[in-house]
Amino acid sequence: MPEKCKNRERLVAAGSSDIPALPVGAVRGLLCFRCFSPSDKIMKCAGCKRAGYCSKECQKLDWSVVHKKQCKILTGVNKQEEDNYRKARTWNEYSGELQRYVREVKATSTDDNLWFIIQAQPYCAVCRRSAIQLSTRKTLLNRCDECQLIFTCTDCSSKQSHPPSVCSNYQIHSQIEQFRIEFFEDTEKATPVNCTATPRTTYKPLSEATNGWFDYYVDISDKTSIRSAIKPDFSGLTDLVYQLGEKADQEQEERRRMFLLLSTDILTMPLTIISALEDISWITPKPSPSPTRELSIHLIGATGREFHALSTFEEILHLIPDIKTLHITAAGPLSWRGEPDEALQLPYMPPTELACCPACTSSNRKRYIASWRGLYHDFVSTSVYRKPDLLVLFNSGCVDGDDAESSWAPTIRGIVESDVPALFTTYNAEEAEHERYMFGRLDAKFLVEPAVNRWRGLVPVPEFLDEEFGVWRQNYYRYVICGKER
């Protein structure tokens, strides 16, 4: 096993959850399933013909840790693929079959990687025969030269399989995932926290940052030095760097670009919140000379993702000079556990002070985190509930999610019946459209209609079950509601 993945093995064994997930590149035959290293000579597992490894050592390790169980289930899926063989499948037929396999697997196994291996399987993007189906036939699968992740079989080679925009999103995705794996080896963190180092003394509206993240980094945060090195659309390096730079400089600039792109996947949380505070006019244009205000936010449906990102919420203090105290309450069945208050007999962890940077500490600014591990509408009826300034539901899936019907309905009704503004985000356009429809039926008042979020995460993630070549992003779409229309 390469030296560089020893770190990851140690953290996986220790039960860390902030680790890079199995990359699409592994499932599509470019990277080792265990160490995620790229290799031209990936050896496929003889049992399932799906997992692939750079070395015998990685294969042995993976077998003893996870693959022994996976292999048996995948072999069963392969049998079904063979029974379902047709010369060509429509997208709906293909994705329908995948969804069925995934449902069956989810019913018997809690291994997230298993369903990912199935849904991201290599297949011809024209006739939609899978690598498994073609493995016993004479037809071969050829990789796209550009993105390396989409295939066309030799029978379909004369047809165009995917549009350039899809090809480019897949390329960006694998570049960033590759960077994430290296970043993790260096820092033991899968997602970088990249806040503004020095708290601002004046407020600069996010609505004026017309170039989005570029303007944020350069004008609002304190990364002015990137102005000369990175293009406003983050598409690549400036010509200047190419002309003047040595190869090492180019590589360094490229790493910096990847770092900035990957950082947006976490920074999207505080920035999307701040832009909603602008929408609801919570932020006053002329702040008082010293911070005096309190801001209280409830994160509904919070999970480990928000937990790993806790330090990034300090960005709210750093961009809004007015705030003296920031209160965050995370609520949801998957919200993290803390020390519950024994006397209350509730799944409630009372506010705990979190450390701030030296600048915030010296000006006596504070931030607190509290947690409710349960459904939000149950929390609202307790004595520990205090009305917040803003509700935040990141990528809630409150209409399309797995447990949407059962757990969201009372919470959603409660939100519409209250007069607290609520910020919602979704992974893609379709979810935003479904949620718009549902809230329309509930007569909710839209302060901001669903639209692409300027502060979405910039990492495109391929989606394999719904829309063909669909891509989702963190907080891709956003909208804000407040109470009822009449």
Residues at the contact surface with Zn ion, assessed by CB under 5 A? 32, 34-35, 45, 47-48, 51, 54, 58, 71, 124, 126-127, 144, 146-147, 150, 153, 156, 167, 314, 356-357, 360
Q: Which of 31, 51, 37 is nearest to 8 (CA)?
A: 37
Write down the least CB distance from residue 69 to Zn ion, Å.
Answer: 10
Which tokens in the block code for residue 432? 């935003």
Backbone region of residue 446 per phi and psi (left: phi > 0; alpha: psi in -120 to 50; beta: other values):
beta
Write down the least CB distance from residue 217 to Zn ion, Å.
Answer: 18
Write down the least CB distance from residue 159 to Zn ion, Å.
Answer: 8
Nearer CB in complex with Zn ion: 130/411? 130
Write down the least CB distance from residue 149 to Zn ion, Å.
Answer: 7
Write down the least CB distance from residue 284 to Zn ion, Å.
Answer: 20
Nearer CB in complex with Zn ion: 150/459? 150
Nearer CB in complex with Zn ion: 170/376? 170
Nearer CB in complex with Zn ion: 13/343? 13
The continuous run of DSSP H or E covering 327 comes out as strand 323-331
Nearer CB in complex with Zn ion: 42/237? 42
Q: Which residue has the tokens 């960005």?
A: 315
Write down the least CB distance from residue 199 to Zn ion, Å.
Answer: 5
The continuous run of DSSP H or E covering 461 comes out as strand 461-462
Order of strands, edge to edge, in the sheet holding 323-331?
Answer: 348-354, 366-372, 323-331, 293-300, 390-393, 422-426, 477-484, 444-452
CA distance 60 to 67: 9
Nearer CB in complex with Zn ion: 357/438? 357
Write down the least CB distance from residue 352 to Zn ion, Å.
Answer: 17
Q: Which residues are CB-neighbours of 327 under 8 A, at least 6 positions away?
A: 294, 295, 296, 297, 351, 367, 368, 370, 388
Q: What angle do CA 147, 145, 95 make, to 5 degrees?
A: 55
Write down the least CB distance from residue 486 to Zn ion, Å.
Answer: 43
Nearer CB in complex with Zn ion: 99/148? 148
Nearer CB in complex with Zn ion: 5/218? 5
- Contact present, 330 and 307 (Cβ < 8 Å): yes
Write down the least CB distance from residue 326 to Zn ion, Å.
Answer: 10
- Contact present, 254 and 457 (Cβ < 8 Å): no
Nearer CB in complex with Zn ion: 156/481? 156
SS3 472: strand
Give me the torsion for CA of 343, 347, 348, 352, rounded to 10°.
100
What is the per-residue DSSP string for 133-185?
A: HHTTSS--EEE-TTTSS-EEETTSTTS--S-HHHHHHHHHHHHHHHHHHHHHH
